[in-house]
Structure 1
């Protein structure tokens, strides 16, 4: 069965897409740790990041860097943090989180409230900087 992220890539589940290439996809997290929290994934469904082929891992990180730079230019923050947890969804994903404090990347805290309209605006703005 396809992961939820594969279903998002395939358009079966809506998302606020930020960027896409032939091999990678980035979209806003629906349970964000901070405004602009973005997930970056390979289109190929692989469960564990260290099971990616070297060129896939390199490509994913280079794509994430481009997304992070565009996100940083869009969302006011001190920097963009990156986390790879890999437990909750069996599909490799990198969290890019705008940070103003260390607490902004605490996954045990409740997500921040971001309206669908604000998410759409952020996604459009980040995509425009790619």
Structure 2
């Protein structure tokens, strides 16, 4: 069975996309720890970060590096935090989280955000790409 993220890649599940290439996709987390919390994934479904081949791994990080400055410009924050946890969805994903304090990296604290708010945030971030 495809992962939730593979279903987003295929268009089966909608997402608030930030950027996309043939190999990678960035989209807003629907249960963010902070406004602008973005997930960056390889389109190829691989469960564990360190199982990615070197090219896909390096490309994923390079793609995330291009997205982070746009988030930082769109969402007031001190910096963009990066986390790879990999337990909640069996598909490699990098969290890019706008940080104003360490509490913004608390994955047990989730914001309740409307689809309209997510769409507006995605548009603001895309404007800086």
TM-score normalised over the length of structure 1: 0.96
Counterpart Cα distance in 2 of 1:101 and 1:47: 29
Aligned mates of 1:116, 1:46 — CA distance in 2:
28
State the TM-score, normalizing by the size of structure 2: 0.97
Q: Where in structure 2 are there 5+ consecutive unaligned residues?
A: none
In the comparison of the two structures, how many residue pairs are matched?
129
Which structure 1 residue ranges, 5 or more long, are not aligned?
A: none
**1:119 equivalent in structure 2:** 118
User: 1:75 matched to which residue of 2?
Assistant: 75
Give the match for residue 102 of structure 2. 102
State the distance in 2 between where 1:78 and 1:113 align: 22
Report runs of 4+ in structure 1 exceeding 4 Å deviation: none
CA distance in 2, matches of 1:100, 1:115: 22
Secondary structure of the structure 2 residue equivalent to 1:121: helix
Q: Deviations over 1:46-65 (max 9, x none)?
A: 00000001111110001001
